[in-house]
């Protein structure tokens, strides 16, 4: 079977770890045989309102019933519970797994390859191409999850404040820096800097064409200190040094108050942020607008991504055929996509889903602007060549700790990345994962 570079390296990792790759076509075909009897599946997700979406499926599919299970988000404990359950044989049949965690699940041999499951390859062309790259790891005959939602990044900005200050929405990061200086003279900040939001920072590296992990032959290469990472780190270090960005814990009451009182003028964030903004900054309704991310190179429309999940069939599932059927319906059926957006605020990974009327409509909070087209275009401009590493939880934690120190004057953002580079390489080596250099 032909493999892409990332898939080949993961196969080596699984062999070193003593795991079966679980991705041979014959095995997948056997695993995806219909049960021939009514089955009940268990699906774990932390998306709000997911139970209402499952009710739609259950009403139409009496022979494949889905029991909804919820709890903490993946990084907050669910993933470790899944790993334990996979080993014990009692994990849920299906689970919400974020893109950046799929490699970790493959390392644990925790995913069923759905490539030969009826109906799965047929929906490939419905999805934004880079999302299928994420779930296939670049392998020709592999699908380790079905894309669910994505987080293409745009820029939310206070249109009223920009207009009053005589500023136009910045189209480049240099224009953004120049606007930040003007905004500071008005007593505000153009953006906050949350040391804990590493994914936000990484989304800008993604936009710039960088990546933290890649594969060279059969070895992982870790590159947290590449030129794109340094560019983004230098940029925000300058913003911090000149007090143009305000250090502040994201998602805190202090931060939301700043967003709702004109202290923070922009938020570089994905589509899913619009619901959070309207809920948590209600006094500024009708004052915000949306545009594209500022660009590192003038004239481009490159975008990064922040967030998004898949629906994966876990290795311990007894009925992968039926599980795959539910997963494809959940993430590609128009009725399901509409319900996912209305109940959970998800931004679909399918091209058609991004054009559905539930999204393409004026939003009063944004002055009647239809913001869907900006994010749909951004989704198509995300670089497909962006592999995630097999130890993302540890990498995030180390970068987060380093950024917190930099905000307090202990080193800087680049030195934080240098430290996390070393600890990530050490972590890979400690798990006998082939890694180049160090």
Cβ 119 vs Cβ 328: under 8 Å: yes
Note the pLDDT of residue 82. 95
318-349 pLDDT, tens per residue? 999 999 999 999 999 999 999 999 999 899 99
Helices (H), 186-319: 198-208, 227-241, 253-259, 273-280
Note the pLDDT of residue 29. 40
Give mean pLDDT, residues 38-45: 98
Give the chain's domains with CATH numbers: 39-150+308-355 (3.40.190.10), 153-305+384-431 (3.40.190.10)
pLDDT tops 80 at residue 390: yes
Cα 436 from Cα 312, distance rounded (Å): 30
Note the pLDDT of residue 28. 45
Give mean pLDDT, residues 1-7: 38
265-283 pLDDT, tens per residue? 999 999 999 999 999 999 9
Cα 122 from Cα 118, distance rounded (Å): 8
Give mean pLDDT, residues 72-85: 91
Note the pLDDT of residue 25. 39
Question: From residue 325, how far is each of 32, 34, 38 by CA, in Å?
Answer: 10, 10, 14
**10: pLDDT confidence band, cut at 50, 70 and 90?**
low
pLDDT tops 60 at residue 427: yes
pLDDT tops 80 at residue 26: no
Give mean pLDDT, residues 35-57: 97
Cα 428 from Cα 391, distance rounded (Å): 7
**19: pLDDT confidence band, cut at 50, 70 and 90?**
very low
Note the pLDDT of residue 74. 86
SS3 content of the chain, % helix, strand, coil (to 5): 45, 20, 35
pLDDT tops 90 at residue 438: no
113-167 pLDDT, tens per residue? 999 999 999 999 999 999 999 999 888 899 999 999 999 999 999 999 999 999 9
* Most distant pair of Cα atoms in the chain: their distance: 70
* C-alpha closest to that of 57 among 340, 326, 334: 326
Cα 11 from Cα 259, distance rounded (Å): 46
pLDDT tops 80 at residue 179: yes
Enter the DSSP assignment of 249.
Answer: -
pLDDT tops 70 at residue 262: yes
pTM: 0.92
Cβ 97 vs Cβ 105: under 8 Å: yes
Helix (H, G, I), strand (E, B) or coil at 103: helix
Higher-pLDDT residue of 139 and 7 is: 139
Could you tell me if residue 22 is left (phi over 0), alpha (psi between -120 and 50 degrees) or otherwise beta?
left
pLDDT tops 70 at residue 8: no
| 368, HSE (Cβ side, Cα atoms, 13 Å) | 0
Note the pLDDT of residue 216. 75
Other beta carbons within 10 Å of 275: 14
Give mean pLDDT, residues 206-217: 91
Give mean pLDDT, residues 184-198: 97
**218: pLDDT confidence band, cut at 50, 70 and 90?**
confident
225-246 pLDDT, tens per residue? 999 999 999 999 999 999 999 9
Note the pLDDT of residue 76. 86
């Amino acid at each position: 079977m032909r493999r892409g570079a990332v898939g080949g390296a993961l196969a080596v990792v699984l062999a070193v770890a003593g795991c079966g790759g679980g991705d041979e076509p014959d095995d997948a075909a056997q695993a995806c045989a219909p049960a021939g009897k009514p089955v009940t599946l268990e699906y774990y997700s932390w998306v709000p309102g997911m139970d209402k979406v499952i009710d739609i499926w259950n009403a139409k599919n009496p022979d494949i019933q889905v029991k909804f299970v919820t709890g903490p988000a993946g990084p907050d404990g669910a993933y470790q519970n899944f790993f334990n359950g996979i080993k014990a044989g009692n994990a849920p049949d299906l689970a919400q797994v974020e893109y950046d965690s799929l490699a970790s699940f493959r390392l644990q041999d925790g995913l069923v390859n759905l490539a030969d499951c009826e109906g799965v390859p047929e929906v490939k062309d419905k999805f934004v191409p880079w999302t299928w790259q994420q779930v296939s790891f670049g392998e020709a005959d592999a699908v380790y999850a079905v894309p669910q939602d994505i987080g293409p990044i745009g820029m939310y900005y206070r249109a009223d404040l920009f207009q009053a200050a005589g500023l136009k929405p910045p189209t480049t990061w240099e224009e953004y820096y120049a606007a930040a200086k003007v905004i500071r003279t008005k007593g505000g900040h153009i953006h906050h800097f949350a040391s804990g939001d590493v994914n936000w920072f990484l989304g800008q590296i993604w936009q710039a064409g960088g990546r933290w992990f890649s594969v060279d032959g059969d070895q992982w290469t870790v590159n947290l200190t590449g030129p794109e990472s340094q560019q983004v780190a230098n940029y925000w270090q300058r913003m911090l040094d000149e007090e143009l960005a305000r250090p502040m814990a994201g998602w805190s009451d202090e931060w939301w108050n700043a967003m709702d009182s004109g202290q923070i003028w922009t938020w570089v964030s994905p589509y899913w942020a619009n619901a959070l903004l309207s809920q948590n900054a209600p006094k500024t309704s009708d004052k915000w607008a949306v545009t594209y991310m500022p660009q590192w190179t003038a004239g481009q429309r490159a975008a990064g991504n922040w967030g998004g999940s898949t629906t994966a069939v876990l290795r311990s599932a007894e009925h992968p055929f039926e599980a795959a059927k539910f997963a494809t319906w959940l993430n590609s059926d128009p009725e399901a996509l509409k319900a996912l957006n209305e109940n959970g605020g998800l931004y679909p990974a399918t091209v058609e889903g991004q054009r559905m009327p539930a999204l393409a409509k004026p939003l009063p909070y944004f002055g009647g602007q239809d913001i869907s087209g900006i994010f749909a275009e951004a989704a198509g401009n995300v670089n497909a060549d962006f592999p995630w590493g097999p130890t993302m939880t540890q990498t995030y934690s180390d970068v987060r700790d380093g950024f917190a120190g930099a905000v307090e004057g202990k080193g800087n953002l680049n030195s934080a990345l240098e430290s996390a580079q070393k600890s990530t390489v050490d972590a890979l080596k400690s798990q006998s994962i082939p890694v180049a250099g160090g």
